[in-house]
Chains A and B, each alone.
Chain A
């Protein structure tokens, strides 16, 4: 009997805590389906006839389809190239202890973004690379690649060296051993770091605001611009916020375990 009260107490605390965390999502979703009259109604309406007008507006008037495409290209591209370069590097650091690079990677996570952004902007302007996928993907790799290496080094370290040696005795080359034996075994690590790299890139604002233009503008910049020219169109803004948030929420719900793993790897593992 006492245990039940205790459980009930926890559930009560849970509700008290969860509601403020979740409420902004709930309110965003609700507001995005309201007509302007309902949005500014006092008291706020919980029951109303939902409208898709704001979503139509966001896609037709503000071309969000194009920005979704840009965001996808950028995030997938940055994650792909980060993996391509980061996985071998992580393996080398784990196996051959090249600690200098590990330190560099720590620095990359700590230096303020503006320190990179000024030279990038000048350099990319000279090379006419501002507003191209190249510059935005390169800039996002600076966030993604160090993170991938950071997470993957302990995964490679955990694999016994005998594994590669055995496969090499069997006639596989070192490259073959890396791709066919080691990578599949570190699958969860690859998944964790790719998901986080994707999330970082999808959410990045500061680099994209300077390095993208009309052609390559990503979702965070599109929604920010939307805010600056129509501050009062809260329904439209909430629809845009839903659009940028939904893919990330879906990823978070499906891959919750991996995200938490990657997130704690940053601190607990050092």
Chain B
């Protein structure tokens, strides 16, 4: 291509032109709000202050108040435990279904579709349908359980204590998130050459030996990435809890997402809510940093 005869190196503006519109939107919708949230977290900024357009700079006042509040630690603990439980059950369920999908047998295609469906349906719809299934008086779940002989489930209310409500939400969350794990792992399984398994079979390797000796080590990075992604997503969960319990009964199913939301749009304490959002972001940034480190190490190996 002919270069203009100028003394400077010609700058190629074309890629910047392509990037610019996306960059403007990303800056305006993402970077600005991110910085803005951090900035707001140093203010006392409530609904009244929004109306009068005044806010007071209070340094780390919001953070100090949050860290001193036992409720915050309770919510953080609940969120951590709930996230861990969701991640573990999702990974196990996803792994099992991926193994099943990897076997050729009649009806596999049906299973493929069936597994995909929970992932695509709106979380609000899923939560409402499950709420109906969990209904204490007319819910089909209690009916089946009683039918199977568990009489203690007659009119059992699934959402009225902390433990029960968290269990119910966990079922819905896992139901909607294991397909992602299953399909990702299935793609991983299929990337392993069948020759390796055949060679192992010749050597008389058992099913368990093939799993722990070949599959798991080869998919270590993928498993780690899925683990981190699921952790990030489950940590910031909101929809299912908001629809099923709204954080109740008596705030016992508050998780970080609900806590921040309620402070912002329930109590209209924008400053405090921003501080909670920043804390959430800091925790997730740590996890993301791990994710990037794992990825870059994987690229070095490859």
Contact = CB atoms under 8 A, between A and B. Distances in A.
B111 interface: yes
A151 interface: no
Contacts of A103: 292
Contacts of B270: 118, 122
Contact of B119 (A22, A28, A106, A263): A263
B264 interface: yes
B277 A98 contact: no
Interface in B86-107: 97, 100, 103, 105-107
A133 B105 CA distance: 48
Interface residues of B, number: 95
Contacts of A237: 128, 132
Contact of A86 (B22, B103, B186, B235): B22
A48 interface: no
B280 A264 contact: no
A125 B166 CA distance: 35
Contact of A114 (B225, B243, B273): B273
A171 interface: no
B212 to A, nearest CB: 21
B260 interface: yes
Interface stretch (A60-68, A186-194, A243-251): A243-251
Contact of A245 (B30, B122, B243, B288): B122
B99 to A, nearest CB: 11
A264 B183 contact: yes
A14 B107 contact: yes
Given A98-B15, A205-B239, A253 B113 contact: yes
Given A114-B264, A264-B183, A244 B124 contact: yes
Given A119-B32, A119-B33, A256 B188 contact: no
A108 B30 contact: yes
A160 interface: no
Max chain B C-beta neighbours (<10 A), residue from A7, A22, A24, A141: A24
Interface in A62-80: none
B84 interface: no
A146 B102 CA distance: 30
Contacts of B36: 118-119, 123
A11 B109 CA distance: 12
Contact of A249 (B120, B188, B264): B120
Interface stretch (B62-70, B134-142, B192-200, B202-210): B134-142
A106 B225 contact: no
Contact of A227 (B33, B175, B243): B243
Interface in A205-228: 205-206, 210, 219-220, 223-224, 227
Contacts of B112: 256, 260
A206 B243 CA distance: 11
B273 A24 contact: no
A10 B285 CA distance: 42
B11 interface: no
Interface in B254-296: 256-257, 260-261, 264-265, 270, 273-274, 276-278, 280-281, 284-285, 287-288, 292, 295
Q: Which 3 A-B pairs have the closest CB atoms?
A: A89-B22, A88-B18, A119-B33
